Amino acid sequence: MSILFKIVSAAHIGLFHLTGGRVGSTMRGQRILLLTTTGSRSGEPRTVPVMQFEFDGKRYVVGSAGGSPQDPAWIKNLRKTPEVQVELRGEKYRARASILTGEARSEVFEKITQRAPMFARYEKRAAGREIPVVQLTRS
């Protein structure tokens, strides 16, 4: 992860917490959540801001890393420990993260790209990596 990305993420998270989510809860017209995973090597909590999407009462996030050929670190973290914390404006809860596969992943990714077309561009840029779509189910 680049130092610039770390700085921007830390500022985003700080503003979100400082304002109770009044600042930092949307990006490009989409809602943002703070996702806290457990570091796969460190065992320490790791928090990242990610766009979230809701369809049929289910919440999803996308591991795009802006089209990088590698998955973002938070995907690696939840593969090892799928128990996560979700923080939205005015709400915080524990959840289980499940990476979708096959037809389920394709259907949700299609809906996501209709709302946020940049994710289709990110997948093309990802050098053959299928961008993970993660369902977050409240524990």
Question: Cα separation of 101 and 6, whole Å?
Answer: 29
Q: E-assigned strands of the chain?
A: 26-27, 30-38, 45-55, 58-62, 83-88, 91-99, 133-138
Per-residue pLDDT, averaged over 9-21, amounts to: 76
Which residues are 35's β-sheet partners?
A: 48, 86
Query: pLDDT by residue (tens digit) across 54-64?
Result: 999 999 999 99
Domain span at 105: 3-138
Query: pLDDT by residue (tens digit) across 99-116?
Result: 999 999 999 999 999 999
- CATH number at 123 reads 2.30.110.10
Q: What angle do CA 8, 138, 57 make, to 5 degrees?
A: 90
pTM across the whole model: 0.89
Predicted local distance difference test score (pLDDT) of residue 1? 55
Q: How many domains does the chain have?
A: 1
